[in-house]
Chains A and B, each alone.
Chain A
Amino acid sequence: MVELIKVSKEYPPDVVALKDISLSIGVGEMFFVIGMSGAGKTTLLKLLCSMETPTGGLIEISGKPIAQLRGYHLARLRQKIGVAYQDFKLLTDRTTAENIAISMEVSYKKPQIIKKRVRDLLDQLGLADKHDTITGELSRGEQQRVTLARAVANSPTMILVDEPTGNLDAITTERVMNLLNKCNKAGATIVIATHDDSIYRHTSHRVMELRRGRLHAVSGGLP
C-alpha cells in the first residue's frame, strides 16, 4: 500500500511541481497518472521511488515513511521498486542484456536465473535479436523497451513507468502493455504516468489527472 498525504514538491527558486497531493494506491493496483507536460507526473514518480524527497507531506510505502529510510533499508526498498525512467538511464556502452541484468545483479540473483529472465523479457518485448547489441546503437523505441525490461526484471512489488509508449508504434505499445498487465496480474502494483490516452481510455483501473501540480480528478476503478 502506497500512501501520499498532502505531498508537495517545490524546486528553487519558486517552481511548484506538486502541491498537496493526497492519495492511496492499493497493493496490486494498476494506477494511471495523466496530465499535460509539466503537470507533475514525473515528479510524482520520482518521489515514489525516493529518487527525490518531498518538500512537504508524507509518503509511506507498506506503512513506512520512505523519507526516513537510509542506507541498507533504502537500498532494499529500491530493489522492490522497478522504475522505467522517461530519460531511460541506460548505460549506453553496455549491451542490452547487461543493462537489463543490472537490476537483478544488485539483489544477487544467480547468473543462470538472470540469463533466463533476460532472454524471456527480450522475447516478450520483441527484442530477442538485440541481446548483445550495445544500447547506444538502439533506436529510441528499443531503448524505451530495454528500460521497461530492466524495471520489471527483478520482479518488483511496485513498478513505476514514465511515458512507456512515447516512442512506440501501436503493436509495440500493445506488447508493452501486455507485459505490464502480466506483472500486475502477478501481484505487482503498477503506476503509469502517461499522456497517451490510447492506453487508459478504456481501462477499468483508476486514472488520476494532475494539472499544474495539483490533483484535478480521480476517475475509474471498480466500485
Chain B
Amino acid sequence: MSFWFTVLRQVGRNLRQTWGSQLMTLLTVSLSVLIFAFFSLIYTNMINFGEKLGDDLSLIVYLEEEPGPELQQQLINKITTFDEVEKVRFISRTEAYERFARQLGENRDVLDDMPKDFLPPSIEVVPLKNLRSLNQVKLFSAYLSRLPGTLKVQYGQDWVERFYHFTRLLSIIVLLSGTLLILTTIFMVAYTIRLTILGRQAELELLKLVGATNNYIRTPFLLEGLLQGIVGSSLGIVSLYALFQWIKLRFSGPGFLNVFEFSFFPPAVSLSIVCVSILLCTLGSYSTMQKFLRI
C-alpha cells in the first residue's frame, strides 16, 4: 500500500467522522474569502475608476481681467514653475460665453439679455498624469489661487474629496476583511483540526505504538487544512464571480453601473487569493499539529 493511498484514505475517514465541523469550517473559509474578495473587487474597481476620472481632471483658474499675450506667457511660466503640466489653455470672456451658450442648447435664449462679457476669463490647466493624489492637487490649486489676478480656482473639490475619502474607507474595509480572512482561516481550521485530533486521540496513540511514522500521522491533518483552503477559497471566488455576473446582468444597460465599467479580477489575482487562503489554512493546520500532536 503506498504512502499516499494510506494518507488519502485517512483523510477521507477524518472527513467522514467530523463532517459537521468540517462543513462549518469550509463555509467560514468560503465566506471570509467572499467578503475579502468582494471588498477588494470594489476597491480595485474604484481605484480604476479614480484613475479614469483623473485623466479628465482639470483645474479652472478664474481671472479678474483678460490677460494680454505678454501676461499670458508670464502666467504660463508661473504655472509651469510649480510643475510640468499637460496643457494650459486661456479662455476669453467671449469664448466662455459661447461655451456656456452651447451647453445651454435649446435654452440659450436665456442669455439674450445678458452682455457677452459677463463671464470671467479663465485658464484651463490640465495637470500631468503623475499629479494625482488629493494633496498634490490641493497644493497645486492653492498655488494657482495665489497667482496675480486670480479670482478663484475650481476642480470639483467636493467631489474629488468625497471620492478620495470613499476609497480610503474602502481600503480600510479591505484591510479589515483581509484580517478577518486571516483570523478565520487560521483559527477555524486550527480549531477543526484540534477537534479531529482530540476525537482520534486513542487511534493516534495506537498508531504511534504500532510504528506509524510522523509523516504517516501528520500528513492527513496537513492535507485536511490544504483541502479546506482549496475548496473553501475556490467556493468563495466562484460565489463572488456568480454574484458579479448577476449584478452585471441585472444592472446592465444605461444607468449608474455603466459609468463605472465594473470588471472582475484577472485570473492571476483570483489564483493569488486562492493560494494565500490555502497557505493560511495549511498554516492553521500545521500550528495545531505542532501544539497538540506531539509524537
Contacts and interface: CB of A to CB of B under 8 A. Distances in A.
* Interface size, B (range): 10 to 19
B211 A107 contact: yes
B214 A108 contact: no
A78 B211 contact: yes
A105 B6 contact: yes
Interface stretch (B63-71, B86-94, B198-206, B255-263): B198-206
Contacts of B2: 108
A216 to B, nearest CB: 29
Nearest to B205: A89
A153 B202 CA distance: 20
A71 interface: yes
Contact of A75 (B6, B205, B211): B211
A51 B213 CA distance: 15
B249 interface: no
Nearest to B215: A72
A72 B217 CA distance: 12
Interface string A7-40: 0000000000000000000000000000000000
Interface residues of A, number: 26
B210 A106 contact: yes
Nearest to A112: B1
B212 interface: yes
Interface in B199-237: 202-203, 205-214, 216
Contacts of B214: 71-72, 75
B118 interface: no
B12 to A, nearest CB: 14
B1 A114 contact: yes
The B interface, classified by DSSP as helix, strand, loop or mixed, is helix
B206 A102 contact: yes
Contacts, number: 53
Contacts of B3: 108
Interface of B: 1-3, 6, 202-203, 205-214, 216
B203 A91 contact: yes
Contacts of B202: 89, 91
A114 B210 CA distance: 15
A89 B209 CA distance: 10
Contacts of B6: 105, 108
B206 A89 contact: yes
Given A91-B203, A110-B1, 14 more contacts: A51-B209, A75-B214, A77-B211, A78-B208, A79-B211, A80-B211, A83-B209, A89-B202, A89-B205, A103-B210, A105-B1, A105-B6, A108-B2, A150-B210
Contact of A78 (B1, B203, B205, B210): B210
Interface string A51-90: 1000000000000000000011001111111010000010
